[in-house]
């Protein structure tokens, strides 16, 4: 049941809010008004192939929201999440967003859709002026393209261009030290796969001109079998292979490529490998796959990060995903802004969010910032390392440097005419 | 188009071996699914749009059996029998009620089954994808033949699928049951008049077809991720196979599956961006030149 | 009788709808529902020309829905087209696609037909996903669709869009009704019920079916245009098989033999969908079970059922 939490939990929370109010001595009349919940709409995917996206987003939000409510909410007003399933259909995501705004009277939206649904919701809230935090869309143009920007939309997610710069830098240095010149790519044939791969190649070659792309193969998104792509890679005999396949597709590719012996001859750079749901599913994880961090409880190695993973594991009996830390960060940003504003006025909350920096266990240096210029999250931890077959799964993590990322991102934007 | 690469590949022993072995193995897995589809159509006159879901269920049953036992043989058996029993259940309680009605009814019942099964696996096994992994017993280095790479597990898969294909063809052509099934496909009324219970024949054929899909799902579980909704893409490919091979023709399905497997593996070298398109082109050509398919009966 | 009466009824219905839009009853939810109802109602209505009247069960109707949406969106994004011109061009392009696919499919027996249409739809879907330069791939057409006002109609306003969508639906319904009443419609029904006899009478099965296929595809294209206006974009899922499945579901809910059945089905389906997503995440399980109950229990659509029941009670001749 996505929309209503168990009645017991709900009651306990209200009692909690009530006691807090009683202690601080609010008058009774104010109390009824004050505990009116702040409703936040969450359109996402809860069914089908990528249901994990919505489920792990919702789980993380619930942890953070429960903590916020337990600590008294916004002057006694708890947050109530209204989570609904768009089944990955963008038109349905747009409808849900509209319906939540008009019928459920939500005051804010956490858009936990992937890029496709995210862009659909973006158009809706451009019209309605609802303060919206995009949580799962990594497509750079959502905030990098000035035409997509307006006052009430924010992105609390990693971004393709940041990952590509960090990955390109890391790959270039590994390529230099191991003399890897001949590269091939295998990425899913859709916008994310094409863009991310092109950007990675651009930056890797920018840092190391010796890198040559000798071939590429583009399986369909959610292709059942990668045999034909793997034999093609085998024929090309590359020294290194880059892939931005993700989740089940990446696992299938790795399992099949392993038994073809591909990793005996080629180094694999898989940006999306280091996520627990992926790592734990690969049965025959080849040693030394290079991967970017999606979510790792020991990167950044700070107590807050480990505590988050432990709490998540205790409540849901599994580990957080990349989507989880993004969702948790969204809740923390919004609740901080709400408390600083002392109310839910959308203009004031949006103004507060713009440029806001909060402490975060997911930050590269202990904080993350909602950059004012393009209203997107920066300074979150990005790193690359190599995989091992057991916990902690990834070792030798190298932290990306945000000064470099910012500099190259600005250049890239200028090149696109978005500067 | 990278036809020079294709030419280079065809003239190199190592490339031919690798692509041939991969193409044939993928083709044989496809054949298992498609042969079930075509068998059911041939005898029951029913297009089982939910066939891909039975493939998915086979994979999930295999996964469930492999966990506690650790035996791949038991996993494959569980996938096959589980899908067969599930198919039997659907045939008896749902599909048998709409025999003789138009395609719309078949389509809707199957659509409902797809919707329900995708949610049921999500409730039982979780929304996330699962992966069985290649069983340790098959984790050997690949065979190197003439410089070409043939993974050990693919060789095993090819062997098992080929055995099943032989058993199926023997069963259909040499056994009494096979003769009844073939007769029922041509003239069910006559078979009924001879005192053979066609209800039982239909149920058995549907169960066998479902079992074949389940077997394919179970066999490929170690190398393909198992996920709700996994049945759709395999369903489309099986349809293409049935159209090319001729609906109801098992021999045609075999030929078409291998053609598609080889198109995929050699196409990924010669025309990597048009592999999907090529399968549709082959299908369109067959439909225009020989509408009843490669192995189909004329008229 | 005939055209005059249909038009009068249609006009009255449209007026009531539009009055509802502009009176105190108006709410954002109702306006949104009106647009979605017009869109999916038109899609289901056009598909029923094939399923109900021509007996051709297409499982690939979403291809034309998607084609209409993408053609319209792409034309509008060039900035050189007015809304009415782009709609006509988008419908024409959809008709052309339907002509090509139809020419390959309509010769086939019903089962081949069903999944060949399905296969071509999947081909179009994967083409949309791969041709990122044109279509934006899985992210769909980005940046919104400009909607310059024409003749005082500003489609960027939801209430105008709702009235416009309803107008398109009603006008299309009248047109489709006329087509079915014409000798062409009679020929289609004869082809459905007795193709041999029709062929004996010298009717070209191929041409009639192809014409029906193209007409149905064109109206689905118009529905796609409305959809792209509603979400201000176009997405690959418009051309995915699930959209076709839902359209068939709507027809089945409402009924194939009554002209307005698909519209009733679309309304029920949308309400059902909205209600189910609000109460559960096991959407497929619920819809699947409801579908099974209707198909195996009633064995026909709700309006079919009601109509036959009513006729049986009246005891009149068929």
Given a cut of 90, whether residue A311 has pLDDT beyond it is yes
Given a cut of 60, whether residue A11 has pLDDT beyond it is no
Per-residue pLDDT of B77-121, as tens digits, reads 999 999 999 999 999 999 988 887 777 888 889 989 999 998 899
C-beta of residue C172 within 8 angstroms of C-beta of residue C6: no
pLDDT at A19: 41
pLDDT at A3: 40
Any A CB within 8 A of B61 CB: no
pLDDT at C21: 58
Residues in chain C: 318
Per-residue pLDDT of B159-191, as tens digits, reads 999 999 999 999 998 999 999 998 888 888 888
Given a cut of 60, whether residue C241 has pLDDT beyond it is yes
Residue C1 pLDDT grade (very low, low, confident, very high; cuts 50, 70, 90) = very low
**Residue C70, SS3 per DSSP:** helix
Given a cut of 90, whether residue C99 has pLDDT beyond it is yes
pLDDT at C18: 66
Mean pLDDT over residues B231-257, rounded? 90
Q: Which segment of A34-38, B11-15, B197-201 scores lowest on mean pLDDT? A: A34-38
| Segment of A273-282, A344-353, B138-147, C264-273 carrying the highest mean pLDDT | A344-353
What DSSP state is assigned to residue B130?
B
Q: Which chain A residue has its CA at the smallest distance from B269's CA?
A: A232
Residue B37 pLDDT grade (very low, low, confident, very high; cuts 50, 70, 90) = very high
| Segment of A285-299, A315-329, C156-170 carrying the highest mean pLDDT | A315-329
Mean pLDDT over residues A335-364, rounded? 96
Task: Please tell me the distance in Å from B18's CA to the nearest CA on chain A.
Answer: 7
Given a cut of 50, whether residue C200 has pLDDT beyond it is yes
0.75 exceeded by pTM: yes
Any C CB within 8 A of A336 CB: no
Per-residue pLDDT of C128-151, as tens digits, reads 887 878 887 777 887 778 888 888
pLDDT at A5: 39
C-beta of residue C269 within 8 angstroms of C-beta of residue C253: yes
Mean pLDDT over residues A315-344, rounded? 96
Q: Which segment of B27-41, C26-40, C66-80, C174-188 scores lowest on mean pLDDT? A: C26-40
Task: Please tell me the distance in Å from A220's CA to the nearest CA on chain B.
Answer: 9
Residue A388 pLDDT grade (very low, low, confident, very high; cuts 50, 70, 90) = confident
Q: What is the dihedral of CA B170, B175, B180, B181, to 10 degrees?
A: -20
Distance CA C42, CA C251 (A): 11
Q: What percent of chain A has pLDDT over 90?
A: 66
**Residue C119, SS3 per DSSP:** helix
* Tokens encoding A148: 């997509």
Distance CA C303, CA C161 (A): 29
pLDDT at A34: 52
Any B CB within 8 A of C55 CB: yes
A123–C132 CB contact, under 8 Å: no
Given a cut of 50, whether residue C68 has pLDDT beyond it is yes
Q: Looking at the partner chain, which of A89, A95, A218 has a beta carbon nearest the beta carbon of C36?
A: A95
Residues of chain A whose C-beta is under 8 A from some C-beta in B?
Answer: 46-49, 51-52, 55, 217-218, 220, 222-225, 227-232, 234-235, 247-249, 251-252, 255-256, 258-261, 277, 281-284
Mean pLDDT over residues A383-397, rounded? 89
Peptide bond into A300 cis (omega under 30): yes
Q: Which segment of A92-106, B25-39, B47-61, C7-21 scores lowest on mean pLDDT? A: C7-21
Given a cut of 90, whether residue C126 has pLDDT beyond it is no
C126–B276 CB contact, under 8 Å: yes
Given a cut of 90, whether residue C86 has pLDDT beyond it is yes
Per-residue pLDDT of A221-250, as tens digits, reads 788 899 999 999 988 899 999 999 988 899
pLDDT at B160: 97
CA atoms within 13 A on the CB side of B251: 7
Average pLDDT over all residues of chain B: 90
Q: Which of C41, C1, C2 is nearest to C168 (CA)?
A: C41
Residue C22 pLDDT grade (very low, low, confident, very high; cuts 50, 70, 90) = low
C-beta of residue B239 within 8 angstroms of C-beta of residue B144: no
C-beta of residue B229 within 8 angstroms of C-beta of residue B114: no
Any B CB within 8 A of C22 CB: no
pLDDT at C316: 53
Distance CA B274, CA B258 (A): 18
Beta strand A131-134 with A108-111 is: parallel
Q: Which segment of C117-121, C128-132, C233-237 scores lowest on mean pLDDT? A: C128-132
Q: Which chain B residue has its CA at the smallest distance from A259's CA?
A: B151
Beta strand B143-145 with B148-150 is: antiparallel
Tell me the CA distances in angstroms from A30 to A72, A76, A296, A396, one per residue in order: 15, 10, 44, 55
pLDDT at C305: 78
Q: Which chain A residue has its CA at the smallest distance from C139's CA?
A: A116
Any A CB within 8 A of B264 CB: yes
Given a cut of 50, whether residue A17 has pLDDT beyond it is no
Residue C19 pLDDT grade (very low, low, confident, very high; cuts 50, 70, 90) = low
Residues in chain A: 419
Residue A4 pLDDT grade (very low, low, confident, very high; cuts 50, 70, 90) = very low
């Amino acid at each position: 049941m996505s929309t209503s939490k168990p009645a017991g939990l709900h009651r306990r929370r209200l009692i909690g809010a009530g006691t807090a109010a009683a202690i601080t001595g609010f008058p009774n009349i104010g109390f009824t008004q004050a505990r009116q919940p702040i409703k936040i709409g969450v359109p996402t995917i809860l069914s089908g192939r990528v249901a994990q996206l919505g489920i792990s987003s919702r789980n993380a939000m619930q942890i953070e929201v429960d903590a916020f409510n337990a600590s008294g909410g916004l002057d006694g007003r708890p947050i109530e999440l209204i989570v609904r399933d768009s089944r990955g259909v963008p038109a349905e995501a747009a409808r849900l967003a509209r319906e939540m705004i008009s019928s459920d009277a939500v005051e804010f939206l956490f858009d936990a859709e992937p890029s496709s649904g995210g862009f659909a919701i973006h158009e809706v809230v451009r019209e309605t002026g609802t303060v919206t935090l995009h949580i799962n869309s990594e497509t750079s143009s959502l905030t990098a393209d000035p035409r997509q920007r307006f006052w009430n939309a924010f992105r609390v997610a990693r971004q393709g261009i940041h990952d590509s710069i960090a990955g390109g830098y890391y790959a270039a240095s590994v390529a230099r030290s191991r003399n890897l010149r001949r590269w091939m790519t295998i990425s899913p044939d859709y916008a994310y796969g094409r863009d991310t791969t092109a950007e990675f190649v651009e930056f890797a070659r920018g840092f190391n001109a010796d890198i040559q792309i000798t071939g590429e193969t583009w399986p369909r998104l959610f292709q059942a079998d990668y045999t034909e792509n793997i034999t093609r890679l085998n024929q090309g005999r590359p020294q290194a292979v880059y892939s931005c396949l993700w989740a089940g597709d990446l696992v299938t590719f790795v399992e099949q490529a392993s038994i073809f012996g591909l990793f005996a001859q080629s180094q694999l750079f898989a940006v999306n490998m280091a996520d627990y749901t992926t790592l734990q599913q690969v049965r025959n994880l080849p040693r030394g796959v290079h991967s970017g961090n999606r979510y790792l409880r020991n990167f950044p190695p700070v107590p807050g990060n480990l505590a988050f993973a432990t709490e998540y594991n205790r409540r849901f009996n599994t580990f957080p995903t990349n989507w989880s830390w993004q969702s948790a960060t969204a809740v923390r940003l919004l609740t901080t802004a709400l408390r600083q504003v002392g109310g839910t006025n959308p203009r004031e909350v949006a103004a507060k969010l713009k440029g806001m920096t909060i402490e975060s266990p997911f930050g590269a240096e202990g904080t993350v910032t909602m950059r004012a210029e393009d209203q997107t999250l920066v300074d979150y931890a990005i790193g690359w390392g190599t995989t091992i077959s057991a916990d902690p799964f990834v070792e030798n993590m190298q932290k990306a440097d945000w000064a470099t990322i910012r500099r190259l991102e600005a250049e890239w934007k200028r090149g696109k005419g978005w500067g | 188009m990278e036809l020079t690469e294709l030419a280079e590949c065809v003239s190199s022993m190592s490339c031919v071996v690798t692509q041939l072995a991969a193409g044939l193995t993928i083709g044989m897995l496809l054949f298992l699914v498609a042969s079930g589809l075509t068998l059911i159509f041939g005898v029951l006159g029913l297009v089982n749009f939910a066939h891909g879901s039975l493939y998915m269920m086979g994979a999930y049953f295999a996964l469930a059996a492999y966990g506690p036992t650790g035996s791949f043989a038991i996993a494959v058996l569980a996938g096959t029998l589980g899908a067969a029993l599930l198919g039997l259940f659907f045939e008896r309680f749902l599909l048998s009620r709409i025999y003789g009605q138009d395609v719309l009814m078949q389509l809707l019942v199957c659509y409902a089954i797809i919707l329900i099964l995708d949610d049921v696996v999500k409730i039982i096994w979780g929304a996330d994808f699962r992966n069985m992994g290649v069983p340790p017993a098959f984790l050997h280095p690949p065979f190197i033949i003439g410089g070409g790479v043939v993974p050990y597990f693919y060789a095993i898969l090819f062997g098992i699928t080929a055995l099943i294909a032989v058993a199926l063809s023997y069963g259909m052509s040499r056994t009494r049951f096979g003769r009844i099934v073939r007769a029922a496909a041509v003239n069910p009324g006559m078979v009924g008049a001879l005192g053979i219970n066609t209800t039982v024949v239909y149920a058995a054929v549907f169960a066998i077809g479902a079992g074949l899909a389940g077997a394919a799902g179970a066999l490929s579980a170690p190398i393909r991720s198992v996920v709700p909704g996994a049945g759709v893409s395999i369903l489309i490919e099986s349809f293409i196979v049935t159209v090319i091979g001729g609906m109801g023709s098992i021999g045609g399905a075999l030929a078409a599956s291998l053609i598609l497997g080889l198109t995929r593996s050699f196409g990924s070298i010669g025309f990597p961006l048009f592999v999907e398109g090529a399968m549709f082109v082959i299908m369109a050509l067959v439909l225009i030149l020989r509408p009843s398919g490669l192995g189909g009966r004329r008229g | 009788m005939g055209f005059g009466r249909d038009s009068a009824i249609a006009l009255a219905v449209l007026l009531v709808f539009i009055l509802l839009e502009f009176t105190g009853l108006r709410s954002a939810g109702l306006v949104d529902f009106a647009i979605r109802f017009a869109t999916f109602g038109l899609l289901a209505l056009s598909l029923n020309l094939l399923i109900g009247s021509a007996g051709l069960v297409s499982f690939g109707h979403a291809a034309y829905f998607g084609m209409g949406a993408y053609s319209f969106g792409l034309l509008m994004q060039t900035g050189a087209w007015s809304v009415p011109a782009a709609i006509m061009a988008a419908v024409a392009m959809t008709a052309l696609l339907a002509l090509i696919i139809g020419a390959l499919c309509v010769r086939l027996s019903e089962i081949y037909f069903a999944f060949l249409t399905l296969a071509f739809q999947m081909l179009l879907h994967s083409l949309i996903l791969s041709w990122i330069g044109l279509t934006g791939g899985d992210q769909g057409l980005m940046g919104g669709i400009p909607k310059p006002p024409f003749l005082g109609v500003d489609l960027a306003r939801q209430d105008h869009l709702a009235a416009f969508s309803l107008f398109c639906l009603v006008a299309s319904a009248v047109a489709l009704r006329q087509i079915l009443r014409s000798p062409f419609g009679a020929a289609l029904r004869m082809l459905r019920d007795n193709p041999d006899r029709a062929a004996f009478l010298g009717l070209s099965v191929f041409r009639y079916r192809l014409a029906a296929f193209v007409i149905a595809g064109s109206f689905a294209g118009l529905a796609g245009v409305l959809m792209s206006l509603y979400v201000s974009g176009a997405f690959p899922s418009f051309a995915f098989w699930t959209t076709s499945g839902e359209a068939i579901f709507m027809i089945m809910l409402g009924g194939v033999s009554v002209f307005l059945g698909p519209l009733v089905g679309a309304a029920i389906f949308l309400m059902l969908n909205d209600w189910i997503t609000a109460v559960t995440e096991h959407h497929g399980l619920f819809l699947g079970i409801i579908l099974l109950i209707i198909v195996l229990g009633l064995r026909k659509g709700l309006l079919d059922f009601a109509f036959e029941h009513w006729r049986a009670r009246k005891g009149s001749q068929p």
